[in-house]
Amino acid sequence: MEKVGSADLIRRETKKAQPLTRSPSNAQEHILAERKRREKLTQRFVALSALIPGLKKMDKASVLGDAIKHIKYLQESVNEYEKQKKGRTLESVVLVNKSQLVLDELHKLSPSFSDGNRDYSSSNLPGIEVRVSGKVVLIKIICEKQKGNLIKIMGEIEKLGLSITNSSLLPFGPTSDISIIAQKTGDFDMKVEDVVKSLSYGLS
Amino acid sequence: MEKVGSADLIRRETKKAQPLTRSPSNAQEHILAERKRREKLTQRFVALSALIPGLKKMDKASVLGDAIKHIKYLQESVNEYEKQKKGRTLESVVLVNKSQLVLDELHKLSPSFSDGNRDYSSSNLPGIEVRVSGKVVLIKIICEKQKGNLIKIMGEIEKLGLSITNSSLLPFGPTSDISIIAQKTGDFDMKVEDVVKSLSYGLS
DNA sequence: ACCAACACGTGAACC
DNA sequence: TGGTTCACGTGTTGG
């Protein structure tokens, strides 16, 4: 990366009396190496141009320019996707809080809680719904497909003092729709809100 | 992109007596233009290298190579993100809200529930929830335990142009908690609201 | 002294 | 017939 500019013309004249411009045997070797270098260069140029969609001009300059543009575009896309990803997990927390708010509002009226989320992005993460009928509890969860998720959920449920009597897992796209029936045991006296909260917390 | 190879040396010797190697006035202009071209080239090279993270060698060849590698990586990432997007559309979220709205509009149905405070064993109309993820549809229904209810529901679902792939029925007190996974077939293009409405109507 | 990488000037080809 | 792009050989420099 040394810029000689146009002032080296003079230098070249004066430097004519160098010991040897080039060793005669090495001369050919030099031009061969350079040839190989250029070859590799152009090869990479075509390889790069093949990765750029909708490339009109096959100019080296245009290839470089469009490559730059394309990389910027891709990077931007990736950043947006990542942003959305981050947003999702955050929404999940909000979602839980919201549901609890709803539950508190409807506290006496209906314990049924749907994971309705008004925000545009947050699609997943546990939608939790708990219903109670006498001593029977119905728990419905929609969560990411993950190894051991069901076991973890069941463990959490039984930890709460519930005895599972029925369970069902249906694969639904990238998520699993899990329904579980359980019986209250002994001194179980949790409110549904607490059940939802405990399960949400247990699945993080 | 014409390869002359090393055979042009002879040509150059024989072609010595060409009418015009170059117009004398144009000669300098030519080398100037070429200078400018190279200048632009190297400029784009540095611009490109600036976009590549973790670039060790500032070689032209390395810049091109790493640019290729990086573009491939980014493209792959974008593809994966897009793939995920396809699966978990925000459709499901919106649809859930919509379906709830429909339900609220039709009847403020609140499924049977007993918290100790109030007990709403409500209308004979079931609770219906529909989610869509790509070509897969998840239908959840809570309805009274009745003979042939499941069959009737399944019949209604298949009438709508859906193909059932999974189903689950869990007894929950006096009601049944039914979950069904179905695939869209052919020209199925109903909105979830209509699905909910049809099922509600079909179960009376 | 070698090797690798660069910029330069130049002739040719293609609109 | 200019204008633009290319590949080539060559001189030069830093490690």
pLDDT in tens, B73-98: 999 999 988 877 654 433 333 334 34
Measure the CA–CA gap between A137 and A158, rounded to whole angstroms: 12
CB atoms within 10 A of CB B152: 15
Task: Return the minimum-mean-pLDDT range out of A44-48, B65-69, B174-178.
Answer: B174-178
Q: Which of A121, A117, A136, A152 is nearest to A188 (CA)?
A: A136
Q: Is the CB of A14 under 7 A from strand D?
A: no
Express as a percent the part of chain B with pLDDT over 70: 68
Number of C-alpha atoms within 13 angstroms, CB side, residue B85?
Answer: 14
**Would you say A123 and B89 are in contact if contact means Cβ atoms under 8 Å apart?**
yes
Q: Is the CB of B82 under 7 A from strand C?
A: no
Helices (H), A106-191: 149-159
Residue owning tokens 């990432």: B77
Measure the CA–CA gap between B105 and B190, rounded to whole angstroms: 19
Question: Could you read off the pLDDT of A31-80 as tens digits, one per residue?
Answer: 999 999 999 999 999 999 999 999 999 999 999 999 999 999 999 999 98
Among the partner-chain residues B51, B72, B89, the one whose CB lies closest to the CB of A72 is B51
Measure the CA–CA gap between A33 and B125, rounded to whole angstroms: 83
Measure the CA–CA gap between B102 and A120, rounded to whole angstroms: 19
One-letter amino acid of B90: L
* Protein-to-nucleotide distance from the CA of A132 to the C1' of C11, whole angstroms: 90
pTM over 0.95: no
Q: Residue B47 and residue A68: Cβ atoms within 8 Å?
A: yes
Question: Could you read off the pLDDT of A99-146 as tens digits, one per residue?
Answer: 333 333 333 223 333 333 222 223 334 577 787 777 888 888 888 787
Chain A: closest CA distance from residue B79 (Å): 10
Identify the residue among B170, B181, B183 best suited for mutation to test binding to A, counting A beta carbons within 10 A and taking the highest: B170
CA B78 from chain centre, in angstroms, equals 10
Element (H, E) at B164: strand B162-172
